[in-house]
Structure 1
Amino acid sequence: MTPAAATAENLGRALDSIVDRVPGAQFAVVLSPDGHLLGASRGIDDELATQLSSMVCGLQALGLAAARVCGDGELHQVVVQMSQAFLFHATTGNGAVLAVGIDGEAEVGDMAYEVAMFVAQAGDHLPVYLEPARVPVTPVSA
């Protein structure tokens, strides 16, 4: 069986579904690795989409730096806890980035589950993004 083509409509429905399943969920967006908005849940206007894209790119850069300096492996998730909200940021196996916002009344565990399920099924909704080839560094002789 051939998988369904990834379309903005399919992705929008998948993001709406995440928001609909968790009471208190506010939005869900998916960005390409270079920060382009690929899809958003309903109610995201252009201004909010731009703000979310910038913010999520910053979190992605910070998370990648933390993984490089402090960890041994790939970045999987960043969770930002605020006084009355949470922001979940997860990197899919395809290389895209999912960000989901919930209010302080939402069940954090339910959203963590939804984010994990979306990441596991991202291939159904998103194209694959390849990392740039790494060029081997050769030492310079003096």
Structure 2
Amino acid sequence: MTQSVVTADGLTEALNDLVERVHGAECAVVLSPDGLLLGASRDVDDQLAAQLSSLVAGLEALGLAATRVCVGGALRQIVVQMARAFLFVATTNSGAILTVRIGAEAEVGDMAYEVALFVGQADRHLPVYLEPASAATSGETGAAAERRP
């Protein structure tokens, strides 16, 4: 039997590394496509994880709706700019959702680069999520397929 290479410790370590690499990064979480917490960086308690899960589910739904209405292609990333923070939301090829919160003093370009790197390498830390059968039989293209170039 083949052992899974996906471990909570490996994901936590990867998220901690992501937060440590960019000055001003505060926390990072990874969610399944249905909003369940898969992993979090240090200093993310249960309450914050639940709040981010709910928030990101709404942002992801709005982003996907925007892609349909604006015919702008696949959703790649959502960035929310606030007075004292930024929130980056990006979906991996496997369907998992990475969310990173950074302070306003952080270098946004550096964080965007690190998020893109993490998303590109996420498959070694995350399971692959299959599209629902209804999407395959209705002829709709799946979210993961739309994200690929």
TM-score, normalised relative to structure 2: 0.87
Tell me the alpha carbon deviations over residues 91-123 of structure 1, each in whole angstroms, 9 at most, x when there is no partner. Answer: 100000000000000000000000000010011
User: Could you tell me how far 1:76 is from its partner in structure 2?
Assistant: 0.8
Would you tell me which structure has more helix in proportion to its own residues?
2
Partner of 1:127: 127
Q: Which runs of 5+ in 1 are unaligned?
A: 138-142
Aligned residue number for residue 79 of structure 2: 79
For the aligned residues, what is the CA RMSD? Answer: 1.6
- List structure 1 segments (4+ residues) > 3 angstroms apart after TM superposition: none
- 1:45-88 residue CA offsets vs partner (Å, 9 max, x unmatched): 11111001000111111111111111242211000001111000
Kept after mapping to 2: 8 A contact 1:85/1:103 = yes
Q: How does 1:90-129 map to 2 (within 5 A)?
A: 90-129=90-129
Task: Find the counterpart in structure 1 of residue 138 from structure 2.
Answer: 136
Following superposition of structure 1 onto structure 2, how do residues 1-142 of structure 1 map, counting pairs within 5 Å? 5-133=5-133, 134=135, 135-136=137-138
Q: Secondary structure at the match of 1:100?
A: strand
Gaps of 5+ in 2: 140-149
Code of the aligned partner of 2:42 = R
Give the partner amino acid of 2:55: M
The alignment covers a number of residue pairs equal to 136
Structure 1 residue 18: Cα displacement: 0.6
Counterpart amino acid of 1:96? A
Length-normalised TM-score, structure 1: 0.91
Partner of 1:140: none
Identity percentage of aligned residues: 65
Residue identity matched to 2:127: P
